[in-house]
Amino acid sequence: MSDTGQVDENSPFQSRSDGQLHFEPGTAANTFPVMAPEDATPLMEDEPEGTIPPSPLYAMKERAHGGFHIFGHPARIRAHVGTGDATVYGIDDGPHHCMIGRRVGATHDSCVYSLVARVDLPTWQSLVSGAIDGRQIFLAAREAGLSGTVETTGVSNVFDVDWYERPEDIPEEYLPPGAFITFAKDLPTADR
């Protein structure tokens, strides 16, 4: 590959139709092998429930603190509360917290934007019991942000679009039950 990103016909690296690089025959001994992963979207692994769409699922997993569970998931949560534009999705994030998310909008090129945040388990249980609604849970959350997920066959990219230091900073139209937005163009990514 050249410095401009174009494939150099004399290079041992040649692009495949799925975007992965492979090596021309006879060059493997001189180069480090790059293989296409068998599971190109590891964020989808271990999700037999099918309860949560890729966005916000991948964004919640990417931002979760979680950690390793020695004895499996003792309190696994894969759930949603509400319907339509008021739907809030939740996954466990360790034994005492949950990641929550909702689909905010999309562009015409398969990028879906989701609002994600972290709440303690009692706050999630308040949503499930009906004591609070979707808007209230996001206003009680921490570490809120807008994430983009590009959903394509076999691979997905998750990226940060915006961070909200305080729940009050979340744009009103991003909170439940705000209508799903069709963005005319991609939103800029967040500076870290």
E strand or H helix at 158, and its extent? Answer: strand 155-164
Q: According to the model, what pLDDT value does residue 129 have?
A: 97
- Give the count of beta carbons closer than 10 Å to the beta carbon of residue 118: 20
- Tell me how far apart the alpha carbons of residues 41 and 21 are, in angstroms, rounded to a whole number: 17
Residue 166 has what pLDDT? 95
Looking at residue 109, its pLDDT comes to: 81
* pLDDT at residue 184, as a whole number: 85
Do 134 and 176 meet the contact criterion of CB atoms below 8 Å apart?
yes
How far is residue 102's CA from residue 138's CA, in Å, rounded to a whole number? Answer: 10
pLDDT by residue for the chain (192 residues), tens digit each? 444 445 556 555 455 555 555 555 555 555 554 444 455 445 556 666 678 888 899 899 888 887 555 565 567 888 999 999 999 999 998 888 999 999 999 998 889 999 999 999 999 999 999 999 999 999 999 999 999 998 776 667 888 999 999 999 999 999 999 999 999 887 877 654
Cis peptide leading into residue 25 (ω within 30°): no
Contact yes or no for 175/167 (Cβ under 8 A): no
Partnered with residue 151 across adjacent β-strands are 156
Query: What's the pTM?
Result: 0.74
The per-residue pLDDT for 40 is: 47
Which pLDDT score is estimated for 4?
47
Helix (H) or strand (E) holding 164: strand 155-164
The pLDDT score that the predictor gives to residue 145 is 96
Instruction: Report d(CA 97, CA 59) in Å as an integer.
Output: 16
Tokens of 139: 């206003």
Structure tokens at 64: 């979760």
